[in-house]
């Protein structure tokens, strides 16, 4: 009886170990920062903003031990994007930003450290918040296509969890919030540092 119980225990351990090795999916929750650059355009409109902070949820599916596809959804709490034209207007727009993206991920394994790079298409939604922080009430929500890229490193802390740190970039057109007077004809390269925890299953 003891031998049967011991064999059953060994089988259970082997199955669990096999499943751990076959883990091909993970989900991660991260804190993010958004740093939008200063823009000075040929139309004499200047755009600057303060930093934003938010969260990012990601789902990753491994195609091979070193290749994966990833889906991301992120949102910032709020920050102010300011549009200025000397002698004409100075409008702060309190904004909440959402992002959705699908990316290809290439990883490199070095024991417990896994550097990776990623890139793919997505969309960015600029949501004006209508309160005293927004001086122009005619601004509208704006959704724009974007290109996402990034590089980072994951550190395994257990067979099921790792810590990830990453630097991501988002390339999209500078928003106008539906206002032709805000047009810059320029592109944003938004910098987004990310740090979080991933669970493998």
- Distance, CA of 80 to CA of 95 (rounded, Å): 6
Q: Could you read off the pLDDT of 164-200 as tens digits, one per residue?
A: 999 999 999 999 999 999 999 899 999 999 999 999 9
pLDDT at 110 over 90: no
Assess if residue 179 is contained within a domain.
yes
Assess if residue 16 is contained within a domain.
no
Instruction: Give the CA radius of gyration of the chain.
Output: 22
- Distance, CA of 7 to CA of 138 (rounded, Å): 72
pLDDT band at residue 22 using 50, 70 and 90 as cut-offs: low
CB 187 within 8 A of CB 169: no
Assess if residue 6 is contained within a domain.
no
Token output for 126: 């600029």
- For 95, residues 6+ apart whose C-beta sits below 8 A from its C-beta are 49, 52, 78, 79, 80, 81, 126, 127, 128, 129
Q: Could you read off the pLDDT of 49-86 as tens digits, one per residue?
A: 999 999 999 999 999 999 999 999 999 999 999 999 98
Assess if residue 11 is contained within a domain.
no
Which segments of 129-186 are extended strands (E)? 142-156, 161-173
Assess if residue 139 is contained within a domain.
yes
pLDDT at 98 over 60: yes
Alpha helix segments (H runs only) across the chain: 2-21
Model's pTM, two decimal places?
A: 0.84
Assess if residue 8 is contained within a domain.
no
pLDDT band at residue 17 using 50, 70 and 90 as cut-offs: very low
> What is the extent of the structural domain holding 40?
24-200
**What confidence score (pLDDT) does residue 163 get?**
97
User: How many residues are listed for the chain in this entry?
Assistant: 201
Environment class of 185 (CB within 10 Å of its CB; exposed 0-12, middle 13-18, buried 19+): exposed
As for how many domains the chain has, the answer is: 1
Assess if residue 124 is contained within a domain.
yes
pLDDT band at residue 3 using 50, 70 and 90 as cut-offs: very low
As a whole number, mean pLDDT of residues 37-46 equals 87
- Distance, CA of 68 to CA of 60 (rounded, Å): 7
Residue in the block written with tokens 């993010």: 32
Assess if residue 2 is contained within a domain.
no
Residue 35: give its domain's CATH number.
Answer: 2.40.160.20
């Amino acid at each position: 009886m003891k031998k049967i119980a011991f064999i059953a225990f060994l089988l259970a351990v082997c199955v669990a170990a096999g499943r751990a090795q076959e883990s091909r999916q993970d989900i991660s929750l991260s804190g993010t920062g958004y740093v939008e650059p200063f823009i000075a355009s040929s139309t004499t409109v200047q755009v600057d903003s303060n930093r934003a902070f938010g969260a990012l949820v990601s789902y990753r599916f491994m195609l091979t031990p070193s290749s994966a596809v990833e889906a991301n959804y992120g949102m910032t709490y709020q920050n102010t994007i300011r549009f200025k034209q000397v002698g004409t207007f100075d409008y702060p727009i309190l904004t909440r930003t959402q992002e959705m993206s699908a990316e290809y991920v290439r990883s490199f394994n070095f024991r417990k450290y896994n550097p990776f790079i990623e890139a793919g298409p997505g969309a960015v939604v600029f949501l004006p918040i209508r309160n005293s922080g927004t001086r122009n009430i005619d601004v509208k929500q704006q959704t724009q296509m974007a290109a996402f890229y990034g590089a980072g490193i994951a550190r395994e802390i257990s067979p099921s969890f790792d810590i990830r740190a990453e630097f991501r970039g988002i390339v999209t057109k500078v928003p106008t919030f539906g206002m032709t007077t805000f047009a810059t004809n320029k592109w944003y390269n938004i910098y987004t540092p990310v740090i979080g925890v991933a669970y493998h299953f």
